[in-house]
Structures are given as structure tokens and as C-alpha cells.
């Protein structure tokens, strides 16, 4: 049986999603053709009003657009940007990004929960980008999120799964799809996130800054598939402390 | 390097005006106190100025050694002390290394993107006597301001070139270009451009709020120097002479709801800590020749030093935008966008009402008002776009939404 996953009524086979930070035609080509991306993030604030160089024109028809609300500093601003995206013909998917810090670009969880609730009420398929906090994740579920997108490490940092332990808690406790977003710097880290049980990963900088885009895109496809298969097969026993006793400690018990 | 000869007498000045001008230039005691606010100027309760000025006052560039510079280059987060070392003469021999680090930081935060914008000068009336500026009130130039119809026409010409971000400028004259005049221009600009910035005389918080409601999101204010003694000698008359009011302009703009502000590095650092949501950008404009005074040149900052400063800024504030205007040469701008700069202007005129003739490659003698300074890099938007693309960079026309 094919391994698929569903979001907002759409079924995806690829678990590699292209993020938005650094864009070019070549990057989008590599992501779709070589990494197999079926979903691509689009920064609404970057879309051009003019005919030339419109990012929308770069993206193949069969790819799901995921407009994001980057530039929003409050829930209200995020809602306004999401509505604009809908008017631009980007569909009902929206990635909520709310930042009130221009230095680290960390998401504001409280505002994100508010925006998620407002947008879900308006019928959007809401994918909130968040700091991996269990309470906030539960609030996002209650607010009507379609998936939860915790960061792995600061955006653009290529520092990998710095928040690994907290991601694992979310993976263990949250029943919505979890898309690990931000900070994945190399295919091995994408692989690890998938092994842990993530539904998908979002990558941009790591691919955009690679020397050979198609080759790196292919590497990400393989890494994501490898991690996913490992997760599905059930990871083998990993012994963390000493060996297990060949004679069970409880072997003396009679009944 | 040769000293600038700033003072030029126009032959049209009356003997009284000339006498007053000479007195201002030669007799410091007849000038007003640059720390005293004028009537109507909002006084801000803020510690940012104190923090910046005390750092400036205690800065001794000669104190830093190659060891300090090496340590600064190694550190993951650049501190204020590191910035001081990187700006010092001790860092000059490390320029290539500095540029490599700056390039890496720029790519980490901005990829290979370069943003494009163009200025639109609305008026060149000015009530300041800033000795280096072509608009200064004693300089004999053709003065003019655009009517609403002319403004809209200029905007149409610029917008048809494909430009999506505009920076509106005026000379500093509240009587000739009042707040409503600027606000109306912002409203017009919103019709044609995605992003509207302002570089006009500093105003109070409530006035910034008004201009923000009219459609402006970004405010640029230049200070020229944080050394009060030098500031006092360069700004002899007018509102700009009031140092603290000038200094606090960006903070008032942020309080008035503007999304971003532009200035110099240390000032930006303290303000961003206080207003973490603020989008900040930096620039380092050097002096240029002006009409009636071709002798004005960048004094003590050569291209190598300018590069050093911009690289140091990049390491200190990796996330900040850095703008390099058309006052620098095409060669310099082509180089610096690969290292530290993230935004350049194109299709620039610093005159009033001459975009159509300039864009058509005709003489601009029919312009409404003369230019602020001579630009160096006169490339059009199309040309700049092509040059950046050919150089492996990605030109971006817009990255902001007014919400």
C-alpha cells in the first residue's frame, strides 16, 4: 500500500515541502523535479503585482501552494495577509507565521494560536509555524489547525534538530500531522526528523545555498524517504545503557 | 586628503543675508545651541541616545589591536566591543577576511537576493543650512515642488519602469512641503507602489502615525555624525541643527507605527533591542559634489574604509538591511552587493520632476527643481536588474506588504 498522508482533504505522497525564504526559478525546478515536492511555500509579501517575475508563474499547476503570512506581527495582520493570498488565487492553505522580533525571527506562539483560530473559522487549512511548546501545540489543535509546524532550530541557521527533545514530545503527544520546519541544514537531519515520526519536513536554505541544486534536492528526497521508511518499519532496539541481562532479572518469579 | 571647501556665496544674496551667512560660518557664538529643542518639537523620554552617545564618546579607535580584530572575527555573536575593533584602523589589514565573513552572514540571512528601489524627490525647498548639501537654503539653485498632478505623473513614469518600492524625499521645509502635502504624496504612492518609504524632515510621533496611515511604512533619517561638535559645525541653521530631536526621529517613527527605520549601526542596535519587531536597515552615505560646489568629496572615508564599515556593520547586525545608493559608483556597488549590501537604488534622479526626460534619455532642463547632489551610478532599473542577474544575484522588487 502506498504511503500517503492527507492535509485539508488533499493527499500527498511526498513528504518534502519547499520553504519560502530564498527563491529562484532553479530552486523551484529542483525542488519539484529532483526532491519530488508537491507543496511549495509562497511568501505573499514577495509576490509581484507586475507581470514580470511573478513567483506564481514559476510553480507547476499540480503543486499545492502554501502561502505564508511572513511579515505579520499580530494575529490580525496574519489574517489580512491570508485573505489577500486567497484573493490572489492561492487557495485555502495558509502557513501562519507571526514574528515580533526582526533579529531571530522566532514565532510568537500566543499570537499564532489566535490567528489559527480566526483563520480556521474562515475555512482556511491552517498550518501554524510555532516554537515547540506542548501547551501551545495543544492550543493549536483546539484552535483548528490542520497540522503543527514546530521549528527545529532558528530559521536559516542550518543548525539541525537543536530542539530535538521538544519535537519528540510533540510527536508523541499531538495527533495532527507534524511538519518539522526551519533549521534543517542537511539531508541527514531531515532523515532524523522523519525517523522520529514527523509527517513531513520543510526545507529552504539548505537547498537554496547548495552548490548543485538538483543533486542536493535528490539527496533530500532520498533522506526523507529513508527516514520515513525507518519510522514505518519500526526502529530496531537501541541499547542506551549496558547490555541486557541474558538471564532476566525477573526470571525467579513463579506465577 | 584635501579639506572640503564648503562655503560658497551666491551672487544673488543681499548684503544683509551675506553678512548673516558669514557670521554663521565664522562665529560659533552666534549660532543656536544644538541641544535645545525648538517650539513644537516633541521631547522623548528615552535612554537610547544616552547609550549611543556614551559609547561614541568612549570610543578610541587607536586602542584596538590585531588581536582584538582576530577575536572579533572568530566570535559567533559580534559584541559592541567587537564592532569597535572591526571599525578601527587595526582591522584595515583584515579587509579580505572581514569581507569573507560578511559575505557568509549576508548569504545566511538574505541568500543571493538584492532589493531594488528608487527615490522620488517631491520638493527641494529647505530651511536648513547644512554646509555639504545642495538643497541648503543659501545655495542658489532652482527651487521647486511637484503639484499633485506632477507627483502622480512622476510616479506613473517610475512605476511603468517596473519599480515596486519608492522612497519619497523632500527638502526640510515645513512651510513649502507640509505634513498634508507629504501625506497626500504617500496616498498617491500607494496606488502605484507596493512599498512606500519616507526620507523627509523629522516629525513628532503623532505625525509619523498620520504618515503611516497615509501608506508609508519605512522611515529614513540621516544624522551624518554622532559627534556633537562636528554636527554643530556642519549644520549651522534650521531644524536639523537640533541634535536630540534629529536623533530620536527613528524612535518616534516606530512609536508612530512605522514598520522599519534606517540609520547607523550602534543606534540601530540599541533601538532594535528596545523595539524588537522593528525592521532596521543601515546605510553609510558619503558626501558628493553639489550644484555650485564641485569640490565637495567624501572626506576621510575612502572606498576601502567604506567597505570595512559596511562589513563590520554586517557582522554586528547580520539581519539588518544595508542600502548603498547611487552616490557610489557602479563598480563599487557591483562589488559590495556580493559582500554586504542588500539593497540598491536604480533609475535615480535627485532633481524635481525630471523622471520622464531622464528615463527617455533626454535633457532634463525642463525640470521643476535642481538636484540635491550628483549621482555616480546612473543605471536604469532594467540595466541594474540585468547586471545583478548576470552576476548570479537575484533582484527583488518587493518584499513587504502594507497591513
Three-class HEC string of chain B: CCCCCCCCCCCCCCHHHHHHHHHHHHCHHHCCCCCCCCCCCCCCCCCHHHHHHHHHHHCCHHHCCHHHHHHHHHCCCCCHHHHHHHHCHHHHHHHHHHHHHHHHHHHHHHCCEEEEEEEEEEECCCCCEECCCCCCCCCCCCCCECCHHHHHHHHHHHHHCCCCEEEEEECCCCCCCCHHHHHHHHHHHHHHCCEEEEECCCCCHHHHHHHHHCCCCEEECCCCCCCHHHHHHHEEECHHHCHHHHHCHHHHHHHCCCCEEEECHHHHHHHHHHCCCCEEEEECCCCCCECCECCCCCCCCCHHHHHHHHHHHHHHCCCCEEEECCCCCHHHHHHHCCCCCCEEECCCCCCECCHHHHHCCCCCCCCCECCCCCCCCCCCHHHHHHHHHHCCCEEECCCCCCC
User: Poorest-confidence range of A62-66, A224-228, B113-117?
Assistant: A62-66
User: Poorest-confidence range of A13-22, A32-41, B244-253?
Assistant: A13-22
Please indicate whether, in this complex, the C-beta atoms of A71 and B403 are within 8 angstroms of each other: yes
Give the domain ranges of chain A.
5-233
* Average pLDDT of the segment spanning A144-170: 90
Is B123 in CB contact (< 8 Å) with chain A?
no
Give the domain ranges of chain B.
15-34+102-396
Which of A26, A46, A97 would best serve as a mutation to test chain B binding (most B beta carbons within 10 A)? Answer: A46
The model's pLDDT over B177-190, given as tens digits with 9 standing for 90+, comes to: 999 999 999 999 99
Q: What ipTM, to 2 d.p.?
A: 0.78
* Average pLDDT of the segment spanning A185-198: 94
* Average pLDDT of the segment spanning B272-301: 87
pLDDT at B344 over 60: yes
Distance from C-alpha of A201 to C-alpha of A25, rounded to nearest angstrom: 21
The model's pLDDT over A52-72, given as tens digits with 9 standing for 90+, comes to: 556 677 778 888 989 999 989
% residues pLDDT > 70 (chain A): 89
List, as ranges, residues 113-152 from A with C-beta within 8 Å of B: none
List, as ranges, residues 181-240 from B with C-beta within 8 Å of A: 194
Give the pLDDT score at A50. Answer: 54
The Cα of B261 is separated from the nearest Cα of chain A by a number of Å equal to: 12
Active-site position among A22, A26, A50, A95 = A95
Picking from A44, A71, A208, the nearest residue to B111 by CB comes out as: A208
The model's pLDDT over B359-398, given as tens digits with 9 standing for 90+, comes to: 888 877 778 899 988 899 999 999 999 999 999 898 998 8
Residues of B in contact with A52 (CB under 8 A): 162
Give the pLDDT score at B1. Answer: 43
Q: Is A164 a catalytic residue?
A: no
CATH, domain range A5-233: 3.20.20.70
Is A102 in CB contact (< 8 Å) with chain B?
yes
The model's pLDDT over A121-133, given as tens digits with 9 standing for 90+, comes to: 999 999 999 999 9
Is B156 in CB contact (< 8 Å) with chain A?
no
pLDDT band (50, 70, 90) for residue A241: low
Give the pLDDT score at A244. Answer: 60
Would you say domain B15-34+102-396 falls under CATH 3.40.50.300? Answer: no
* Average pLDDT of the segment spanning B67-73: 96
The model's pLDDT over B122-171, given as tens digits with 9 standing for 90+, comes to: 999 999 999 999 999 999 999 999 999 999 999 999 999 999 999 999 99
pLDDT at B100 over 70: yes
Amino acid at each position: 500500500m502506498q504511503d500517503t498522508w492527507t492535509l485539508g482533504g488533499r493527499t500527498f505522497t511526498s513528504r518534502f515541502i519547499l520553504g519560502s525564504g530564498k527563491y529562484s526559478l532553479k530552486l523551484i525546478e529542483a525542488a519539484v523535479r529532483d526532491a519530488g515536492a508537491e507543496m511549495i511555500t509562497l511568501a505573499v509579501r514577495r509576490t509581484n503585482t507586475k507581470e514580470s517575475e511573478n513567483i506564481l508563474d514559476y510553480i507547476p499547476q499540480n503543486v499545492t501552494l502554501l502561502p505564508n503570512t511572513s511579515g505579520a506581527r499580530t494575529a490580525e495582520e496574519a489574517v489580512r495577509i491570508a485573505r489577500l493570498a486567497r484573493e490572489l488565487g492561492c487557495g485555502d492553505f495558509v502557513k501562519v507565521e507571526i514574528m515580533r522580533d526582526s533579529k531571530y525571527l522566532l514565532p510568537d506562539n500566543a499570537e499564532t494560536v489566535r490567528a489559527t483560530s480566526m483563520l480556521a473559522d474562515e475555512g482556511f487549512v491552517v498550518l501554524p509555524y510555532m516554537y515547540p511548546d506542548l501547551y501551545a501545540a495543544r492550543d493549536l489543535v483546539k484552535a483548528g489547525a490542520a497540522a503543527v509546524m514546530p521549528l527545529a532550530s532558528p530559521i536559516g541557521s542550518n543548525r539541525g534538530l537543536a530542539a530535538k527533545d521538544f519535537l519528540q514530545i510533540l510527536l508523541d503527544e499531538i495527533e495532527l500531522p507534524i511538519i518539522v520546519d526551519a533549521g534543517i541544514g542537511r539531508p541527514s537531519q531531515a532523515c532524523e526528523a522523519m525517523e522520529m515520526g514527523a509527517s513531513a519536513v520543510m526545507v529552504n536554505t539548505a537547498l537554496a545555498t547548495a552548490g548543485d541544486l538538483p543533486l542536493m534536492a535528490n539527496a533530500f528526497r532520498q533522506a526523507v524517504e529513508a527516514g520515513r521508511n525507518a519510522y514505518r518499519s519500526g526502529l530496531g532496539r537501541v541499547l542506551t545503557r549496558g547490555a541486557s541481562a541474558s538471564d532476566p532479572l525477573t526470571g525467579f518469579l513463579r506465577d | 586628503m584635501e579639506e572640503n571647501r564648503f562655503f560658497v556665496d551666491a551672487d544673488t544674496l543681499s548684503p544683509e543675508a551675506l553678512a548673516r551667512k558669514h557670521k554663521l560660518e565664522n562665529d560659533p557664538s552666534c549660532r543656536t545651541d544644538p541641544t535645545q529643542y525648538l517650539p513644537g518639537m516633541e521631547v522623548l523620554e528615552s535612554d537610547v541616545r544616552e547609550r549611543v552617545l556614551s559609547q561614541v564618546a568612549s570610543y578610541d579607535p587607536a586602542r584596538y589591536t590585531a588581536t582584538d580584530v582576530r577575536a572579533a572575527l572568530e566570535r559567533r555573536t559580534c559584541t559592541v566591543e567587537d564592532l569597535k575593533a572591526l571599525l578601527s584602523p587595526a582591522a584595515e589589514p583584515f579587509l579580505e577576511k572581514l569581507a569573507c565573513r560578511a559575505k557568509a552572514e549576508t548569504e545566511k540571512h538574505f541568500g543571493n537576493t538584492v532589493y531594488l528601489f528608487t527615490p522620488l524627490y517631491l520638493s527641494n525647498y529647505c530651511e536648513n543650512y547644512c554646509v555639504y548639501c545642495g538643497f541648503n537654503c543659501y545655495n542658489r539653485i532652482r527651487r521647486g515642488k511637484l503639484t499633485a498632478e506632477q507627483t502622480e505623473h512622476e510616479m506613473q513614469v517610475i512605476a511603468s519602469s517596473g519599480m515596486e518600492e519608492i522612497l519619497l524625499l523632500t527638502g526640510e521645509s515645513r512651510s513649502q512641503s507640509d505634513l498634508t502635502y507629504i501625506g497626500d504624496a504617500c496616498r498617491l504612492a500607494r496606488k502605484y507602489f507596493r512599498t512606500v518609504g519616507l526620507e523627509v524632515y523629522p516629525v513628532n510621533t503623532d505625525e509619523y502615525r498620520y504618515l503611516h496611515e497615509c501608506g508609508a511604512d519605512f522611515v529614513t533619517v540621516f544624522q551624518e555624525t554622532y559627534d556633537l561638535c562636528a554636527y554643530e559645525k556642519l549644520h549651522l541653521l534650521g531644524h536639523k541643527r537640533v541634535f536630540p530631536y534629529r536623533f530620536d526621529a527613528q524612535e518616534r517613527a516606530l512609536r508612530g507605527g512605522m514598520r522599519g527605520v534606517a540609520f547607523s549601526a550602534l543606534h540601530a542596535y540599541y533601538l532594535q533591542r528596545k523595539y524588537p519587531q522593528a525592521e532596521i536597515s543601515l546605510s553609510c552615505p558619503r558626501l558628493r559634489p553639489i550644484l555650485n560646489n564641485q569640490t565637495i568629496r567624501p572626506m576621510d572615508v575612502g572606498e576601502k574604509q567604506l567597505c570595512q564599515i559596511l562589513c563590520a556593520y554586517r557582522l554586528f547586525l547580520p539581519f539588518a538591511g544595508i542600502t548603498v545608493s547611487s552616490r557610489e559608483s557602479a563598480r563599487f556597488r557591483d562589488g559590495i552587493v556580493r559582500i554586504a549590501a542588500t539593497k540598491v537604488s536604480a533609475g535615480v534622479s535627485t532633481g524635481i520632476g525630471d523622471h520622464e526626460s531622464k528615463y527617455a534619455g533626454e535633457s532634463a532642463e525642463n525640470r521643476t527643481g535642481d538636484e540635491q547632489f550628483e549621482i555616480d551610478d546612473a543605471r536604469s532599473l532594467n540595466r541594474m536588474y540585468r547586471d545583478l542577474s548576470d552576476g548570479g544575484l537575484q533582484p527583488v522588487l518587493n518584499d513587504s506588504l502594507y497591513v
